[in-house]
Amino acid sequence: MLKVEGVGFHYVAGTEVLRDLSFSASAGDIVALVGRNGAGKSTLLRLLNGLLKPTRGTVTIDGNVTAETPVHLISRSIGTVFQSPEQQIFNATVRDEVMFGPRNLPITAEERETRVREALERTRLTDQSAVHPLDLDQAKRRFVALASVLATRPPALLLDEPQRGLDARGRLLLERIVLEEQAKGCCVVIVCHDMEFVARLATRVIALSDGEISADRPPAEFFLDAKLTAGASVEAPDILRVSQQLGLPPCLTPAAFAEAWVARSSEPANRT
């Protein structure tokens, strides 16, 4: 689905931002890109969606080399929700914004309407469909941008800090949508500084440090290795530290913690 081979990138007359990146991601993967600010995560997303071209190496999306493929064709295979939703909102109503992508696809009018309706329903925006997107708060704007991408049904999805500014309800909705897309076989790549969010959702963690990949591991392996987390300038989820302090098996999520706690409480030695 998505393949990065020996990729390097630098801005004009600038220092190399990314160096010798190689990895691939397949249908159903949820890949978290982590690392300190300035590590190159957002630049990598723009290389994946074709907005930037590699200085060296190749990026291949759904069989198409991005450096050789027009951006509007790449966008049919990979949808992007930017960190600032205002960067991609330019229509006068929420519905028109969500309709923009499907309107430019070779599908029937009936299919377009179906996709827009479903995207609005999934993001809880049906009641705001006639509102100007910029009249909504930041969290709602983020879901407008997400809905506009979901309506095109791309096989890959790029999310840049999607949970930023969301309340607890918004985060739960976002997590549900990401997991639904994974279940459909979508490949999801998420730039994220929230390690609790990463631990709950990711199937892989790719850490960037000084423009290079310092780790590419399953979440449990990554968070249990103090050298890897320190190298990426991130901290393991609090629930992991608490589970270790209590002598439980390593737990990355509250659900796993609860299961481990119940299992230990049910052991014969702990019965009264």
Same domain, 154 and 260: no
CATH code of the domain covering residue 126: 3.40.50.300
Number of structural domains the chain divides into: 2
Q: Is residue 69 located within the same domain as residue 179?
A: yes
Tens digit of each residue's pLDDT (9 = 90 or more) over 67-90: 999 998 899 999 999 999 988 999
| pTM as predicted | 0.91
Confidence of residue 265 (pLDDT cuts 50, 70, 90): confident
What per-residue confidence (pLDDT) applies to 38? 86
The domain containing residue 34 runs over which residues?
Answer: 2-235
Mean pLDDT over residues 174-187, rounded? 97
Residues 159 and 189: their CA atoms lie apart, in Å, by 6
Residue 270 pLDDT level (bands cut at 50, 70, 90) = low
198 pLDDT tier (thresholds 50, 70, 90): very high
- pLDDT attached to residue 269: 60
DSSP per-residue letters across 159-217: EESTTTT--HHHHHHHHHHHHHHHHTT-EEEEE-S-HHHHHHH-SEEEEEETTEEEEEE
